[in-house]
Structure 1
Amino acid sequence: MVKISVIVPCHNDGQYLPRCLDSLTGQTLQDIEILVVENRSSDNSQAVIEEYAQKDSRIKALSISTESLSLARNKGLDKASGTYVMFCDPDGWFEPDMCRIMYYAIENSETDIADCGISCEFSADMTEQDRARRYSEDFSGPRRSGIHSLTRKHLLSTNPTVCSKIWRRDLIERTALRFSPLRAHEDYDFWYRYAFRSRTICYIRNQLYHYFISQASINDSLASEDNPNRKSRLDVAMSFLDFVTVQQPKITDRTRKTVVAVFEEMAEQMSCLLKGNEQEEICRIINSTLRNRLQTETFFTPVAGTISNLNNGGSMTSLKVRRLLMNTRVLLNRINGREISDSLKYSIAVNDSRIQYRKNILSHK
C-alpha cells in the first residue's frame, strides 16, 4: 500500500497540467500514487496525461464521461489505494516537501486530519484590487499551529479548501464519504462532513499548497443575477444536515448547535449576493427546515443587509453587557477622532436586534 494517493481532477486544464504534475512527480516523498481523472476535456489534457503517465508509472490515467468536479474526485477516491488521500487542482501545485511534511504531521500527531497554509498565485491579468480582495477573503491560512481538538470553532474557522489537507482514507471509507453533486462549494460540504466525524486536527503554518486564481474566475461572479449558484451555500448547509441526521439519528444538543452554526456561517456568506426579498426567502426556508427537522427554534432574518440568527445571542444580560462594551468602543473612537468601522456598526445593529427579539419573546410569555 502506498503512503498517499493524490487525486487530480482535470477538465480543459491542459495549459496548467504540466506545472501541476511536475510538482507531484518531484515530491521528496516518493511513495505516492497520482490519480489524474480527466472529464470531457476538449483541449490537449488527455495527451498531457498520457505523456506523463508513460514517463512515470506512479501516474494513473482515469476518466469519466460527465463534466463534474465532484464525480471526478469521487472516481479518484474509488480507485485510491493509499493510506492517506490528498487533492490537487490541475492549475495548482505542491511545494516539493508537501507530501512528506503532511504525511509525517498526521502520522506523528495521530490526528484525523492535517491542514497547511496556502499561497495564492494570481494570473498576470488580475487587478491589484481583485488580488487583495480574494486573498483577504479566502486565504488567510491557519492562524494556529500544532494539535487541536476539532471543536465547532475549528470546524467553522478552518479554510475548507480540500487541497491544503491530508485525509485518512479509512475514515473516508468508514463513513462512505464522497463529494456531493452540488453546483458549487463542494469543498465546504466535504470538509464539514469529514470534520463532523473527526476528533483532532494538526495545523501546519507552512504555505505548502499553491492555489491559482485567474481573472476568468473573478469575472464569473456569483453575484450575477442569472448565476444559479448564488444560493448554493444553502445547499451546503442542507447537505450537512442530511449527513448528520444519517450519522446520528438521535440528534444531541451539541450536534444541533453545530448544524445551526453551519447554517449561520453559510447564510452570512450568502447575504452579500442576495437582494432583500431573496434574503427573506432564504430566512423562511432555514427557519422552517431547522424547526421541522431539528426541533429547534431559530430566527434567521436580514439585519443591516446581512442574514443573522437573532435566537443565538446569549442571555439578555450578556447582550446588554455586549452593547455597553461596544458603545464604549464607539465613544473612545469618537474621543480619539477615529471613524467607526463598518464591522462595529454591524455588530451593534445585530446585538440591538437580538435584544429587541428577546424583549418580544419575554413580552409574549
Structure 2
Amino acid sequence: MRKYETPKVTVIMYVKNGAPYFRRALNSVVEQTLQEIEVLIVDGGSTDGTLEIAKEMADMDDRVRILSCSRGSVGAQFNLGVREAKGEYIGVVESDDYILPGMYETEYRYAKEKGCDVLRADNYIFFELDRQEVKIRTKVSQDRAVYGKELKAGRDDEHMQIGGSYWTGLYRREYLLEKKICMNESKGAAYQDFGFLFLASAMAETLYFLDDAFYCYRKDNPNSSCNRPQDILMVHKEYDFLKKELVTRGLWEHLKKYFYLWKIRNERWFYHNLDQADQARFFPYFYEDMKNVSSEFSALDIKWNLKEKRLLELAVRSEKLFGDHLELCKQKWDVACERIRGLSTKDSVYIFGAGNIGRILHHYLRNRGVVLKAYIDNNADLRGTRMEDAKVISPDDIEPETGNLFLICSENYADEIWEDLRRRGILDTQAAVVSDMDACIRFMMRQMKG
C-alpha cells in the first residue's frame, strides 16, 4: 500500500514484547476501509519477535513506520508517536486489541463534519471462553443525552462526569500540540492514559460522543497492566501528575470536582483488581483519599452513584467501618463464586440486571449448560425483549419458588436490588451479588481452565 504525505489519521501502536497478539492488532489497522492512514509502531525494545512482525508489515505497506523508544515508558512511546505523526487526527490501538474495519473511516467523517478536537465512541470487550471469543459492547455512558451532539468547552462540562478509555476515538493532532497535551512519562505501562484523557476532554473546544462501537478491548491478557500491576501506587502517582498539570494550567478550581470523581472511581476499580496482599498495602492510600474527598464531597456537587456515596459516608465516619464494608463486599463475592460453581443443568437461574455484567455471566452459564429462565430488569424499555436466548421480565413477574437462584448483576445498585428481592419473598440463600465485571471475567477464566 502506498504512503500518503498528508494522511487523515495517524494510528499509534506502542508495543513491547506483544508478539502473541500483535499480528492480529496490526492487521486490523492496515485493513481499515480508510486508506489514507499512517501507522506508527513505537517499539519499546521488544525481544520476542514483535519487531520482526512489524518489519514484515512495513516491508509490504509503505504506510507503516517503525520508531524506537528506549525510555521504558508507554507515555514516552505515545508522546514520541504524536510528535512524529503526520496525520490530521491521532488514533491509538494497543498491541493486544483489534479494531473493526470501518472504525477510522466512520470516526474521521464525523470528526470532520462536527469540527471535533476530540471524538469518543463505545467499544467492545472481548475474551476467550472455552475456545470461543465472547464480545460484548460497552457504553461510554448510560446517559443517552450525551450522544450525537457537539459538546462545547466551558458550556457542557457535564461530559466530564464520564470517564472511560481513550483508545476508542480520535484526537486532532494540532489541538494536542497547541495545548501541549501529552502522557505522563512514568515508568512502564502504568495508567498514563488517565491524565491524557482527562486533559484532552477538559480542554477540547468541541467534543463529540459517537453512538457506535469499533474498538475491541482484550480482557484476558494475563500480562496486561490491569491483571499484573507493576506498582500499587501507579494510579495514585498518575493523579498526582494530573493535579500538578491542572494547577499549572490554572484549571484546578474549575475542574477539581471532576478530578476527584475520576480519581475515586479509578482507585476503587484498581483496589478491587489487586490480590489480597496488594489490597492490604494499597488500603491506607485508598482510605486516606476517600476520607479527604468525603469531607467536602457534598459541596463539590458531584453526581456520585449510590455505591460511591456509601463508601464516602463510611470513610468520614471511621477507617474501621470503611474497611469492614470492603471486607463485606469481598465476602459477598466469595459467596457468589461458591453458588455459581455449584450450579447444574437442573437449576433454575435468573439474572437481575441485563447490562454488561449480566450478559457476560450469561455466556458463562450457557457454556456450562445452565439455562437462564429470564433476565430481570427495572428498565421498562427492555421488558418483553430478548437478550441472547432469554427473555427480559419485570421484577413484578418474579416467581419466589424455593430452588430459584437470583444472580444480582449490578455494579452500583446491588444492595437496593437485594432489598427489593427480600420484600418479594426471596430468601438470602437464593441470591448472590456479582457487581464487578473484571472479577467476574477472571472467575470465569479460572473455572474454564480448571
- Structure 2: state its 5+ residue gaps: 1-5, 301-311, 328-413, 434-450
Q: 1:18 to 1:334 in 2, by over 3 A?
A: closer
**Pair 1:337 & 2:337 matched:** no
- Matched letter for residue 213 of structure 2: Q
- Whole-Å separation in 2 of the counterparts to 1:56 and 1:4: 16
- Matched letter for residue 260 of structure 2: V
Match of 1:34 in 2: 39
Q: Identify the match of residue 182 of structure 2 among 175, 178, 185.
A: 178
Deviations 1:179-210 (Å, cap 9, x if unpaired)?
11345212222111211212443222322112
Q: 1:87 to 1:195 in 2, by over 3 A?
A: same
- Whole-Å separation in 1 of the counterparts to 2:234 and 2:287: 14
Match of 2:149 in 1: 147
Pairs aligned (count): 310
**Pair 1:168 & 2:172 matched:** yes
Match of 1:4 in 2: 9
- Whole-Å separation in 2 of the counterparts to 1:288 and 1:18: 45
Q: 1:256 to 1:11 in 2, by over 3 A?
A: closer
Give the CA deviation at 1:32: 1.1
Does structure 2 conserve the Cα–Cα contact (< 8 Å) formed by 1:32 and 1:58?
yes
SS at match of 2:258: helix
- Whole-Å separation in 1 of the counterparts to 2:123 and 2:235: 22
- Whole-Å separation in 2 of the counterparts to 1:23 and 1:65: 26
Question: Which of the pair is proportionally richer in helix?
Answer: 1
- Whole-Å separation in 2 of the counterparts to 1:217 and 1:328: 36
- Whole-Å separation in 2 of the counterparts to 1:258 and 1:122: 31
RMSD: 3.9
Give the CA deviation at 1:269: 2.6
TM-score, length of structure 1 as denominator length: 0.71
Give the CA deviation at 1:327: 11
Does structure 1 conserve the Cα–Cα contact (< 8 Å) formed by 2:264 and 2:290?
no
- Matched letter for residue 76 of structure 2: L
Q: Identify the match of residue 211 of structure 2 among 183, 196, 205.
A: 205
Does structure 1 conserve the Cα–Cα contact (< 8 Å) formed by 2:11 and 2:39?
yes
Higher relative contact order (CA 8 A, sep 6+): 1
Aligned residue runs from structure 1 range 89-168, under 5 A: 89-123=94-128, 139-143=138-142, 144=144, 145-147=147-149, 149=151, 153-160=158-165, 162-168=166-172
**Pair 1:247 & 2:249 matched:** yes
SS at match of 1:216: coil
Match of 2:237 in 1: 235
TM-score, length of structure 2 as denominator length: 0.59
Deviates more, 1:278-287 or 1:187-196: 278-287
Q: 1:34 to 1:124 in 2, by over 3 A?
A: same
Match of 1:268 in 2: 268
- Whole-Å separation in 2 of the counterparts to 1:248 and 1:241: 11
Q: 1:290 to 1:197 in 2, by over 3 A?
A: farther
Q: 1:26 to 1:283 in 2, by over 3 A?
A: same
**Pair 1:18 & 2:106 matched:** no
- Matched letter for residue 423 of structure 2: I
Deviates more, 1:231-240 or 1:78-87: 231-240
- Structure 1: state its 5+ residue gaps: 308-325, 344-365
Deviations 1:225-281 (Å, cap 9, x if unpaired)?
xx55333222232222111101116x43x3232233233323433443465674344
